[in-house]
Structure 1
Amino acid sequence: MPLIRRTAAGDGRSVVARWGRGAPVRIDRDHGDPRLAPLRDAAARGSWPEVRAALTDEAASADGEELTWLLEALMTVPGVETWISAVVAAQPGAARPDSAQHGPVEPDFAELDAVLPLLVSGARHVEWAWQARTRKMAKYVSKEQFEVFHARLRIAEEQLYEAAERAPRWAAPWHFLQISGRGLQVGQEVADRRFEAVVRRAPGHLAAHRQHLQQVCGKWGGSPARMHAFAREAMLGAEPGSPLGELVAIAHLEQWLDEDGDAGKDGGHMRRPFVVRELHEAADRSVRHPAFLRRRDWIRGVNTFALAFAVAGERDAAAALFLVLDGRVTEFPWMYLDGQDPAEPFRAWRSRVGA
């Protein structure tokens, strides 16, 4: 069934037939996935056997996007860096597979025990590095903060590259190398190769597409033209119902923030007629398509479109999405408007559209 029930409007767009009172707002960090809270709890307690068991279940060991999804939950847990290094050091130095001679192979269980700690540690060092840098503009980051930032990223790069060599079919190491590479400013050519390494292994990898969209933004050495071209190409190249349509909304929000400065004001880039058309097209191909699935962090995509339509003045389209969310807030994209409490701008924009 479609994610969003719609009624026909005269202009062919969505309308809300009936608005209810706004649901209580809550930050949703688990996105309805019952695995994430126990996984984070085990990581906070430093229980490697429990963490390993969660990562080696059938879905995760097959990789695709599942392993990245679980590692993204782990990388934000404070303190993982204090115990995972001992796990890395304790693993046997299994010989790396000779992929040039025998072709890519999956690691056996002994090799798995060598790879997974490297991935957990590498991903955590990426997040830990960005925490040291903070979300401030570069001119407000001290020399000491940059030194810590780069030191942690270099550790991440070493561990992630080793994981990639040991498990050549896995997409996850290359995904996190995208983020570390952006911090180390490896350049667009290297960044492109890292993204391509992910999508060769997992073509519809949503998290990797999100990271590459950031890479091609103007603030990281790309350009608005390249950013929009990448977002649209990814959307059109995917099956209808794919979450990749979200990239179009993110790209327009990025340009809105860049051009209009004050993220709290109306109008500007988002209300241009061609932008409104592109947002509706992207929503119809993704979150409003009957084939769209509530998988992993689908709530983040709906939050993104809710903000984009609200800022664009498309009240009916925004209200429909706010109602689907039922008060569930994700940090992205609301952190752009309030880095401390994403719930506040969520409430404000939901109220503006009357949801």
Structure 2
Amino acid sequence: MVRAHNFNAGPAALPDQALAQAKDELMNFRHTEMSVMELSHRSQDYEQVHHAAKDLLRELLNVPDTHDILLLQGGASLQFPMIPMNFLTKGQPNYILTGSWSEKALKEAKLLAHPYTGGSTKDEQYRRIPHTSELNWSNTDDYIHITSNNTIYGTQWQDLALDAPAPLIADMSSDILSRPFPVENYQLIYAGAQKNLGPSGVTIVIAERSMYERTPEHTPTLLRYDTHADKDSLYHTPPTFAIYMLYQVLSWVKENGGAEGMAKRNDEKAAVLYDTIDNSGGFYTGHAAADSRSHMNVTFNLPSEELNQTFLAEAKDAGFIGLNGHRSVGGCRASIYNAVPLETCEALRSFMKDFQAKHG
């Protein structure tokens, strides 16, 4: 079966193995004579999947016993208000701005608190991640919020072993499990699944239990992290099929070397595309500074907007899907999340070289 060269930014490519397993079990999951979508979320058959997915996440990310793994709904966007609703103490959280999604998180926090910006590269069109020496942060901050990878601008924090002076919170929606990192350095991590972990519908939250002590009594039940921790993410009906697919994708990750295997795979894919850009003599120009380049989203432009559009049209005709840059910045973007195979990146490299030879 021919598969598209899928560079969609999210929902994104899924491993063939995970999709094939889902296809085989779609109408008869483990001899239940039902789809997993038809099972009660209180049934033993479903709960085995639920717990297996959480156990695999803990293993693959090396999550310490001090942290809970929660399987929630509402995407990363619901986390933007949930975080200040649960964790404010003085009403002054700190948001490091590196792109549009960190701006959106800050916007929601402003409805509930008096956040400040402890670092930003907005005046540089978000071409780089700020150096830690540039950050203004303090032990008086309620928490410090970062976005580890910026899909729109193609930048990524290269070092996630941050030694923050206050609780550290990270939106890792677009690069979670793409490489090893020290989970213990973070008091809360959240990620929509639809880029590296599965289909849309489930949001992963990794929360240090000590943070629940901050949650005010008046916080609505469903918007409290301790509610979901106490009920094992089964307080209300979870997105069962999305969690089933999460389990399938995590199984594939484990079989392919875990976080270390994904890092090697992603380094190879990114090198293919960045080398093509760097060796094009300026025909292709990357948006991100070299020391901030994302290994998840490769953003670039051609010499003119007319050539950008010609490139995108010819790429689509050649079977390359999802190469349009985000509507807010334009240009081109190749999203190369975990499940995107090396061969797809190599095919794009060949197309880019042929296109330059034709139009350069």
Could you say which TM-score interval applies, normalised by the shorter chain? under 0.3
The structure whose residues are more often helix, as a share, is 1
Greater RCO structure (CA 8 Å; 6+ sep): 2
Structure with bigger strand share is 2
Question: TM-score normalized by structure 1?
Answer: 0.26
